[in-house]
Amino acid sequence: MRYGRSPFAVAEQARQDVFRASSDTFTKVGREPGLYRGAPHAAYLCAGAWYENLFPEIRVEALEYFARHDIAWHSDANHVRSSQVCCINFFMPLRRSEPALIAALEPALGPITKIIPIENRDLVAFEWIGEADYLNEGIGPLHQRRRGEHCTSADAAVRLERPDGSIETVLIEWKYTETYSSVTQNERRRERLQRYGKIAFWPDGPLRRDLGLRLDHVAASKLAADDLNVRERRVFDR
C-alpha cells in the first residue's frame, strides 16, 4: 500500500498541511513532523502525539475502545491521510446518534428503519472480524486472531433493519488516498491462496479463476461477508 501521488492525494495532503498548521486541535508537538524510515516527514505526526490525528471529541473514546477490544492500530496511524483514522473520525461520532448514522448511510444503502447494536450497545464496530474464523486466518491450534492485524477486519461494521423487517450486516471498507500495486509478491500470493483458495473461487466461492482477480482487501471482505451470511442467518438476513 502507498499513499499515492494522484491529484486527489496531492490536494488532500495540501489541505491537511494547512489544517494541521492552523488548527488548535493540534499541540505544538503535534505539528512537528514525525519520522518515516528514520527521516522527518511532514505527512506524519511524531510518535508521542500520534493520537492528535483523531478528532478531539473522540480521542479518549477511540483509545479506550481499541484497548478494550485489543484492536491493533495500523503502523501508519500517525499519517495525516491514514484511512483507519479517517474512518474512525467519520463513524465514531455518528455512532452516538442513530438518526445521524441513518442519515449518513441511507444515501448509499437505501431506506433504513433502525440501527441494531452490533457489539454490546455500540451501533458501529471497528476492525470487526465476526465471531468465527471464516477465512482460515487464525494462527496456531486455537486459530487466534487479533482485530486489525494479520486477518481480514472490516474497517467498520453496522447492523441495520430494513422497512420490510429484514436485518442486514454491512461491512465497510474505507479508503482515503491509498494506491495498491497490481503486482502481488509471490510469498504473499502463496499465503493468500493457501488461506482463501478453497473458499474464494468457483464452485465453492464467488470469484472466477479466469478473471485474474487479486485477493485484496475488498475481495477478502466479500468472502467474509458471503461466509458470514451463510453461517449466521439466525442473526440477520444478509
Predicted confidence (pLDDT) per residue in 16-41, tens digit? 999 999 999 999 999 999 999 999 99
Residue 141 covered by a domain: yes
In the predicted structure, residue 106 carries a pLDDT above the cut 90: yes
Question: How much is the pTM?
Answer: 0.81
DSSP string, 70-138: TPPPPTTTTBTT-HHHHHHHHHHHHTT-HHHHHHHHHHHH---SEEEPSBTTBS-EEEE--SS-TTS--
How does residue 110 score in pLDDT terms, banded at 50, 70 and 90? Answer: very high
In a domain, 225, yes or no: yes
For residues 208-235, average pLDDT: 53
- Is residue 224 domain-resident? yes
Q: Is residue 153 part of a domain?
A: yes
* pLDDT tops 60 at residue 122: yes
Residue 170 falls inside a structural domain? yes
By residue range, what is the domain housing residue 144? 7-179+216-231
Q: Within a domain: residue 16?
A: yes
Q: What is the pLDDT of residue 234?
A: 47
pLDDT tier at 53, thresholds 50, 70, 90: very high
Number of domains in the chain: 1
pLDDT digits (tens, 9 = 90+) for 157-208: 999 999 999 999 999 999 999 876 655 566 666 666 666 666 666 666 666 6
Q: Does residue 135 sit within a domain? A: yes
211 lies in a domain? no
- Cell 451501533 sits on residue: 123
